[in-house]
Structure 1
Amino acid sequence: MRCRAIPSLSAAVLLVSALLGVSCATPSTTTDGSVIWRQPKQQLLASPMERRPEPGWRLSVTDLGLPNANSADTAESRFAAPDDVFDPSSLVGNVGDRAYFLARSAETTGTRSWLTGVDVSEGTPLFAPISLEVAEIPPRCLMNGPRTVLCVRADEDLRKPIDGAFAWVIDTDQGVVSYFGPTQLSAGGLVQVGIYAVAQDYVNGVHGVGARAETTWLVPGSGSVDTMSRPTDGSTPPPFGVQTAAGRGNDRQIVFSLVDGAVVDPGASPGQRQLGARVYPGGFAIELTSEPNANLYSPQEIVFFDEKGIRVSNVGLPEKKGAQLFLPSPDIPIVASRDESIVYGVNGTPIAQIPPIEFHSDVRLIGSSLFMHGKDKIGVPHQRRYDLRTGEEGKPCEFDFGTRFVGSDATVGVFRVLDAPDVPLIAKGRDLSTCETVWSLSGDNGSYAELWQINTTLVRLSDDGTELMSLVAPHE
């Protein structure tokens, strides 16, 4: 079975209404009635990736003002935090082109951690490095809004005891510490959701974090936040989080504002209750049902909201096909059933019909291509690809996307290489229409190299961990 793009408004309504009972927003159409393809909101690399990229701007530890090996009591600094037990990456996070990295420098009394800021569009520092502390384990650092980074002392030092928990709140506009002092926050209890830090409390629910590293609002619930609801392309998600309501076996998920903890009212009719929910780039969706049996997962309607939390449309679901929101898709809404699946825009507009999706399948939108995990006739895993503009199924990709995907210009995908024992490779560029490798990046054995898509820029950490650089199309 191949994918079908929905060719016209009338056909869309007939097709999807027959399958799912859809009531949705009207897509833009041409004079002949055909639907205009509207690229779902996503962030793509600005520089073409058809050929192996080369360094553009370069920024070393000394360019940022970090200590270097010329100091009498200091070893060379590195943009690396290899001992971070929560996240081994040196990238804390970003808002647009403004990115924040942890660095470390060895001193006679221990290892000092630093917070640095870089404008990745130009490769320029945002502020002077901010000294955190000397400790065996670096602090846990997270974004906490568009202008703030929160760092909390690690819960425990593996080599020596520490006295209490301390936190740093950094104003990234001014490049200064706006608060340093004690906190009741636990580094292990913090989680990054979009660009906000929240504190997970498995007894009471989810807490917001304030300007003095204190807990603020509380959303009662399980205390476990859905961290799968995050874009995979480097874009900034809408400021909403999802957690399961409290209670054993509860399948009701709560959508709430990451800014003030306000819970979203889905506008349910009398007798309806919430089921699953998912946040996407550009908005979110909530399942509703009037099924009285709490043990029966049977959504009957999906409500779509924009990135401001305003309800924009709803989709009715058939009762006998087991249709429901496919939660493992972080980039675009998909309503999956045992017979077929319908891809939607985040405003509830139907885009294409595709075959049924495996329950645990990875699904990823890159440009106008939708990739999902599948198996061939003899059970070999591969990625099935569907062009959402034409509805055609393309050649399957015989490699696992998983956590390897870094970014794309919509034509070539950049993928980390995790298993290259003979040749130390860092990444490969693959043509998304043929799945063929078009270039590869190599590194040194024992390399510190990391690779990120940050906004629209591909950024690499050097093999020795002392230099950041953009990767751009080679000059003629």
Structure 2
Amino acid sequence: MRPAPHERPAAHPHRKRIRIAIVVGTVLTILVAVGIWSQRGHRLSTTMPQWEPASGAFLSSPMHETPVTGWRSTSPRWGLTDPTAHLASIDIRRGTRPFVGAIDKNAYFIATTSAAPEPVWWLIAVDTLTGDSLFPAVSLGSGVRSPKCFLNGGEQVLCLREHDDSSVTASVVDSRTGAVTFEGATDLRTGMGRLEVHQVGMYAVARTQDQGVYGIGPRAETTWFVPGDGSIQVNDLTQFGLPPQEITTQGHRNPRLWSTTVFSVKDGKVLHDGSTESDRLEKTLVYPGGFAAHVDRNDDDLGVQFFDSTGNRVGDSVRDGSLPDGTPGLPIVTSDGEYSVFSVDGRRLFNIPRGALYIVDSTLYVNASGSQAFPEWQQYDLPSGKTGPVCDFAMQNFIGFNDTTMLFAPNMPNSQVLLSAYDKTTCERLWKMPSSGADERVWRVGDTLIRSSGDGTELTSLAAPGEAPPR
């Protein structure tokens, strides 16, 4: 409540008329504004928040026409002279894949060569601007099972090779030079159980059920520890151009205590401790720049609150709101049967119908049909909420964009289409590239598309026709 104004001398009649005009004008402005802001898809905040487009999926090469091969990289260029060398095959059942990840413009892959009695596995690294190898292929040892590799910060790649269910060898490789800085037995595991390793953002972390989450150090040892139930939240949105995840959550060890702990995957710094008697975060969703949580204080429901990446409160609470099961990269609150889109600083932007959500650059896509097989992706501009075309894209296959051209790569076994392009303004398909093999894939690394051949013996870049490949 505003305090009562101090008593002042009577105002001059002319000044009174001015004040009345100002008050009337202000009231009319508010009434008009309320009428505008209450419309679905229009802004609800009084000031336009700063918006950083999720432009990490931008491709430097124009893609309006079918791309052609740029540079080529084969096994001799990887440092492997064995004629049997090729990228590791995809094994969905075991969760193995050839692509490890990317650090800046450098892509890391697992390759293999045939040998008796067991195949030999290798880590290779390719500069995606030129196709050159960063270093000669690094041996990861031999074995029937493909190793699993993880980025661990910007300087290390951690590879785990399982000999059997009780024996694992770790190799820690310098991501810039290829030097093996550690190799030996480790307690880390890649399957279900104790110290199970997961990629969260740019870091490898280990979880143990009903115990908590550990950081991993330069000798494949556990470092920091955050107690909890080990149910880490992985929300990888880099496919759509958002930055790597920096914070995560886990539940309380006691399943009867509905509370989450929020912490950094870099150093384990706790942003909110779910094991204390303070406010309980009953449900938490993380996104680039912070997190949102449904908060309870001494059995008093405080609604949804917003926090920045350091754990500080931002914005206002949404008393009558709840959180959905996922986030496209911005906080979303469910209320009155629809979604409210918020900025990372906790300001309501606009309302939309409920449905699957994706963000690409400065456009929010909402599936109005509720069907993945027959989608109707309504486009909303961010942060204004202005509506755009409705398209039937396969958004789950999105890989990159240039201007109004959007690219999609199914990357599914036996898919007949490797890559296709659509115009986001007309929804029309511009071209499609057929697939020639089960292991043929396309990845985006930085602003470049990388293609593997069907037999895994070659990596190439994809560029617009007429662009000269690098030497």
- How does the TM-score come out when normalised to structure 1? 0.80
Give the superposition deviation at 1:143. 0.8
Q: Give the total of aligned pairs.
A: 431
- For the residues of structure 2 that align with 1:26 and 1:386, how far apart are their CA atoms? 18
Cα contact 2:55–2:361 (8 A) shared by 1:
no
> Which residue of the partner structure matches residue 360 of structure 2?
366
Which residue, out of 90, 96, 110, partners 2:98? 90
Q: Deviations over 1:10-61 (max 9, x none)?
A: 9999987999xx9999646xxxxxxx76525644222222221222222111
1:425 aligns with 2:417: yes
Aligned to 2:75: 61
In structure 2, distance between residues paired with 1:396 and 1:431? 12
Counterpart of 1:284 (choices 281, 286, 290) is: 290
Distance 2:34 2:101 in 1: 41
1:221 matched to which residue of 2? 228
Contact 2:58 2:400 in 1 (8 A): yes
Q: Which residue of 2 aligns with 1:173?
A: 176
Residues 85-234 of structure 1 correspond to what in structure 2 (within 5 A)? 85-154=93-162, 156=164, 164-188=167-191, 189-234=196-241
Inter-partner Cα distance in structure 1 for 2:352 and 2:129: 40
Report the secondary structure of 1:232's partner residue. Answer: helix
Matched, 1:273 2:264: no
Amino acid at match of 2:399: V
Counterpart-to-counterpart distance in 1, 2:353 and 2:73: 47
- Give the deviation of 1:253 after TM superposition: 2.5
Distance 1:84 1:301, change over 3 A: closer
Q: What are structure 2's unaligned runs of at least 5 residues? A: 1-28
Match of 2:350 among 353, 377, 385: 353
Cα distance between partner residues in 2 of 1:325 and 1:305 = 17
Counterpart residue identity of residue 406, structure 2: G
Post-superposition offset of 1:428: 1.1
Is the contact made by 1:368 and 1:410 (CA closer than 8 Å) also made in structure 2? no
Tell me what 1:388 maps to: 382
The 1:90–1:328 alpha-carbon spacing in structure 2 relative to 1, beyond 3 Å, is same
The Cα of 1:250 is off from its aligned counterpart by 4.8
SS of 1:277 mapped into structure 2 = strand
The structure with the larger Rg is: 2
Aligned equivalents of 1:191, 1:9: Cα separation in 2: 51
**Aligned mates of 1:106, 1:433 — CA distance in 2:** 49
User: Is the deviation greater in 79-88 or in 257-266?
Assistant: 79-88
CA contact (8 A) 1:277 1:327 kept: no
Tell me which of 49, 66, 69 is aligned to 1:52.
66
User: Judging changes above 3 Å, is the alpha-carbon distance between structure 1 residues 246 and 409 closer, same or farther for their aligned structure 2 residues?
Assistant: farther
| Separation of aligned partners in 2, 1:9 and 1:368 | 28
Residue by residue over 1:212-244, the C-alpha shift from the partner in whole angstroms, topping out at 9 and shown as x without a partner, is 111122111111211125433355424222222
RMSD over aligned Cα, in angstroms?
A: 3.5
Residue identity opposite 1:442 in structure 2: P
CA contact (8 A) 1:55 1:471 kept: yes
Identity of aligned residues (%): 31
Q: Could you say which residue in structure 2 is the equivalent of 1:472?
A: 463
1:261 CA displacement = 1.0
Indicate how the Cα distance of structure 1 residues 9 and 475 shifts in structure 2: closer, same or farther if over 3 A, else same: farther
Task: Indicate how the Cα distance of structure 1 residues 83 and 381 shifts in structure 2: closer, same or farther if over 3 A, else same.
Answer: closer
- Structure 1's unaligned 5+ residue stretches are 1-7, 29-35, 70-75, 157-161
Task: Please tell me whether the aligned partners of residues 274 and 286 of structure 1 are also in contact (alpha carbons under 8 angstroms).
Answer: no
Counterpart in 2 of 1:73?
none
The reply to whether residue 305 of structure 1 matches residue 329 of structure 2 is no
- State the secondary structure of the residue aligned to 1:63: helix
What SS does structure 2 have at the residue aligned with 1:62? helix
Aligned partners of 2:401, 2:203: CA distance in 1, in Å?
Answer: 25
Deviation sequence 1:246-268 (CA, Å, 0-9, x none): 2225543222111221110399x
Residues 461 and 468 in structure 1, CA contact (< 8 A), matched pair in contact too: yes
Q: In structure 2, what is the equivalent of residue 3 of structure 1?
A: none
Cα distance change, pair 9–440 in 1 and its aligned pair in 2 (3 A): farther
What is the CA-CA distance between 1:124 and the residue it aligns to? 1.8
Task: Tell me which residue corresponds to 1:243.
Answer: 250
